[in-house]
Structure 1
Amino acid sequence: MWTVPRPKYRSGLNEEKLTVNIGGVKVVLYGDDLKRYPDSRLAELANCSTQNVELLSSLCDDFDPGRNEFYFDRDPDSFKCIIDVYYFDEIHIKTGICPICFIKEMEFWKIDQSVLDECCKSYLSEKEQELREIANKVKVILEDMDVDQCITRTQRCQRFLWKLMEKPGSSLPARIVAIASFLSILVSAVVMCVSTIPELQVTDAEGKLVEHPTLEAIETACMLWFTAEFLLRLASSPNKLRFVLSIMNIIDFMAIMPFYVVLSLTYLGTTSMMELVNVQQAVQALRIMRIARVFKLARHSSGLQTLTYALKRSLKELGLLLMYMGVGIFVFSALAYTMEQSHPETLFRSIPQSFWWAIITMTTVGYGDIYPKTTLGKCNAAVSFLCGVIAIALPIHPIINNFVVFYNKQKVLETAAKHEVELMELKSGRQARRKSDE
């Protein structure tokens, strides 16, 4: 039997005692303490008469009138945490107890969640977020499994096309499409780089160097593939608004549009648009925007997506790094400008010009285009790059730790989602067998 210790100032002999059996563990409680939370189940049990059998049956699982003992088929470890609220006005979730199951225990004992300590509330919210993520993953898996249950043929075709374009692991054709898209991105990036080599360029009628026709044909083929892929994904998307507002889809759109704008400026703008003075600069700027298609790789790489999410979780560390570097750049550039003014051949003409020197020094790049010539200036430079090394090294560990934690968490959530789907399939199979047996 486990008897809750009584405070010395409340050790009266005539106090009403309540014996409860929680999963085989006996606990002796005192009525005055339980009445501090009158809406709880134990307080109602303490106020209930033993003659009211119907009410007792609704409050506990069983009752022994001879021993005056109440039985509950509940978790005793969770109960040890819950009864703390009657003595300390707060509850802590002990290590090893599932927070979601603990909340269900609190609901059973009619204890409000507001009595949870702040640390436990944050832990609980984190677990609830994980459960929501698991539920979303389970929903996605179930949607992929229910293609044949669509009502109309159009819906089945739309779902099949969506899986083909967005779910590489769903089938062999979908994997082939993903590989083709990935190779198209790489080929397009290589063509963009190779087309800038002067030896591979040709001269047009005006005597200017332009892209080689072969490279331009490869670029056109890649852009046609990107366009068809984007339109098919848009047409098969179950939620068009979410698809349009997605960051990765916006990047895809921005990588495709410059190609068609350049075509419009080059071939369709011979009368009005080509009269613009800066039209060639506009065309060149739009061609440079083709580098945006490199970011399309993130849509096909879970590693890049995980890195992006990890960087989002490390915004605080990155902000501290930028703040520290900004302060250091301002201080050391001002000191360098002041110390170098005594030298007749100084390279530090102003403090804003010294910002560039401070940036390349603190980041240990050191181009050598601007450097100190006085002894004090060299000492200032030594201190600046030592501080830069420390500033860059300090947030590396938290950022890497966030990446590892997030990556492992995603793996665990994916495994949990698959396990949940397997359990659902097992339960549905059992229910089908029961119906067939009946």
Structure 2
Amino acid sequence: MAPLRSRSADFGRAAEMASSQSKTLLRNGDDALINPSPQRGTPDSSESPLQHSDSILTINVSGMRFQTFENTLARYPNSLLGDPNKRQHYFVPDTNEFFFDRHRTAFESILYIYQSGGRVKRPEIVPIDIFLREMRFFQMGDELLEEFWIAEGYEKPKEVMMPTNKTQRKIWELMEFPDSSLSARIIAFISIAVIALSIISFCWETVPSETEKAVNASTGELIEDELDEKHYSPFFWIELTCILWFTIELILRFISCPCKVTFVTSVLNIIDFVAIAPFFVNFFLADTNKSNSSMSFAVLRVLRLVRVFRVFKLSRHSVGLQILGKTFRSSVQEFCLLIFFMAIALVLFASGMYFAEQGEPNSKFTSIPASFWFVLVTMTTVGYGDLVPLSPFGKVVGSMCALIGVLTLALPVPIIVANFKHFYRQENRLASMKSTAKGDEDGDDGV
């Protein structure tokens, strides 16, 4: 009987131990349900939120939660999320997460920058100014901002050289940067007004007056006495005033420029010089020997024609003309392709028109070079009508020339238009970037 009692006692003790263990487990389970242990890597009130480098962080952006590794954010340690001290200000212990009351859709792309190692992709539904503000708020840095503009199709302009001398710098800003100050805007407005006055005077001067109708019928040259009278006409004084302004402007810009070689080789500066030089050459040739008067008059006509290049001086103050110039420079290959196609069609259709019209007695297509004008006018859809095919075969060739001309012109035009849209979009984005940066600076000053 003793062994049986000992065995029952052992079974009783084992049952009590199992019961106590089960109660302990149930109690621990209830505690775990009531006070769950924090997730691996997420910060709590008793432990630093970034104790482990591979911990998972929860980021709440206006109600939308994102989770990522800490070492993913550490790829950009100077940013708001990458710096533990900076993001600690936005940590909420009650919810064990970082909370940001910011744009949710934009944050998806910002988090992707950390995940992809620097690829900036703006969502199409997020405007550029909003996305820029979000990137600046999260302190993504200038390199990523530059990467953003490159992804948007904007090419960063070259760094502008500025004179080291304070006085030269002030003059250079007045003459080259109209947005730098009110005085620079006034000077730019005066320059535009003088250019417009010079162009109007140049055009109005060609209107004949009663005293200027005395022209030598045999040579077609102005009488020499009238040339002297021209120096005292109102147009001469208008021209003199404009030339003095252009000369002073060019001299001041040359004196204050940071690099003389770059200034001399600039296309716009060459245009400025070409617009000024004819006046002084004209004034010098007006006092030359009377024996060389015929040569002087011929040169004067050419120099007067060169004055029309002043219209290109407006490109210095017009963004639209600058965009057009960039479009032409980037579309050189397309223009060459268009000229190549036109040259081939010119030879083919001019030859066809000449042989088709060879039997007509009153035909004006006397040679292949004489037919070039008809083909060129027809392919460009101008159609002056001075040369008209008379034979049925000539009309067939002319019809084919018109159809091929429309197709030839239509091929490179979309590419040129796309280049124009590209540069126009870049200018708009540049203006948006400047306005956003100015707004941020004003906001910082207000704070």
Report the TM-score range of the alignment, normalised by the length of the smaller protein: 0.5 to 0.7
Partner Cα distance (1:372, 1:366) in 2: 12
Which of 249, 254, 257 aligns to 1:229? It is 249
C-alpha contact 2:154 2:429 (8 A) present in aligned 1: no
Unaligned runs of 5+ in 2: 1-40, 42-51, 56-68, 76-108, 121-146, 215-221
Question: 1:369 maps to which residue?
Answer: 386
Q: Where does residue 188 of structure 1 map in the other structure?
A: 198
Aligned partner letter, 1:337: Y
SS at match of 1:199: coil
- Which of 386, 394, 404 is the aligned partner of 2:421? 404
Instruction: Determine the C-alpha separation between the residues in 2 that align with 1:201 and 1:231.
Output: 37
Aligned Cα root-mean-square deviation (Å)? 4.1
1:169 is paired with a residue of what secondary structure? helix
2:340 paired with 1:323: yes
Deviations 1:73-106 (A, max 9, x none): 12699xxxxxxxxxxxxxxxxx99669974699x
Q: 1:166 to 1:349 in 2, by over 3 A?
A: same
Work out which of the residue numbers 244, 247, 261 in structure 1 matches 2:264: 244
**What is the aligned residue count?**
321
Residue 134 of structure 1 contacts residue 413 of structure 1 at CA under 8 Å; is this kept in 2? no
Correspondent of 1:263 among 259, 280, 283: 283
**2-side partners of 1:244 and 1:100: how far apart?**
49
**TM-score normalised by the chain length of structure 2:** 0.62
Q: Which runs of 5+ in 1 are unaligned?
A: 1-23, 25-59, 64-70, 78-94, 106-123, 434-438
Give the match for residue 235 of structure 2: 215
Give, in whole Å, the separation in 1 of the partners of 2:425 and 2:280.
42
1:387 to 2:422 alignment: no
Task: Determine the structure 2 residue equivalent to 1:333.
Answer: 350
**2:192 touches 2:317 (CA, 8 Å); kept in 1?**
yes
Aligned to 1:121: none
Cα distance in 1 for residues equivalent to 2:195 and 2:210: 21
User: Residues of 2 paired with 1:392 and 1:379: CA distance?
Assistant: 20
Q: TM-score by structure 1 length? A: 0.63
Read off the aligned partner of 1:215 and give its amino acid letter: F
The one-letter amino acid paired with 2:409 is I
**Rg larger for:** 2
1:127 matched to 2:150: yes
Deviation at 1:377, TM superposition (A): 0.3
Q: Summarize the alignment of residues 143-158 of structure 1 with structure 2, pairs less than 5 Å apart.
A: 155-158=165-168
Equivalent residue letter for 1:259: F
Cα distance between partner residues in 1 of 2:371 and 2:226: 39
Cα pair 1:134 1:416 within 8 Å, conserved: no
Residue 287 (structure 1) aligned with residue 304 (structure 2): yes
Residues 134 and 414, structure 1, Cα contact 8 Å, conserved in 2: no
Describe the shift of the 1:126–1:170 C-alpha distance in structure 2 as closer, same or farther (beyond 3 A): closer
- Deviation track 1:124-147 (CA, whole Å, cap 9, x = no partner) reads 8993997871573xx67xx6xxx9
Amino acid at match of 1:184: V
Identity %: 34
Given that 2:271 and 2:310 are in contact with CA atoms closer than 8 Å, whether structure 1 keeps it comes out as yes
SS state at 1:278 partner: helix
Tell me the distance in 2 between the aligned counterparts of 1:317 and 1:398.
8
Following superposition, the deviation at residue 361 of structure 1 comes to 1.1
Q: Deviations over 1:207-264 (max 9, x none)?
A: 5577471111111111111111111111111222111111000010011111111111
Q: Answer whether contact 2:331 2:419 (CA < 8 A) is retained.
A: yes
Partners of 2:72 and 2:114 within 8 A in 1: no
Question: Among residues 308, 323, 342, which one is paired with 2:325 in the alignment?
Answer: 308
Q: Distance in 2 between matches of 1:320 and 1:420?
A: 42
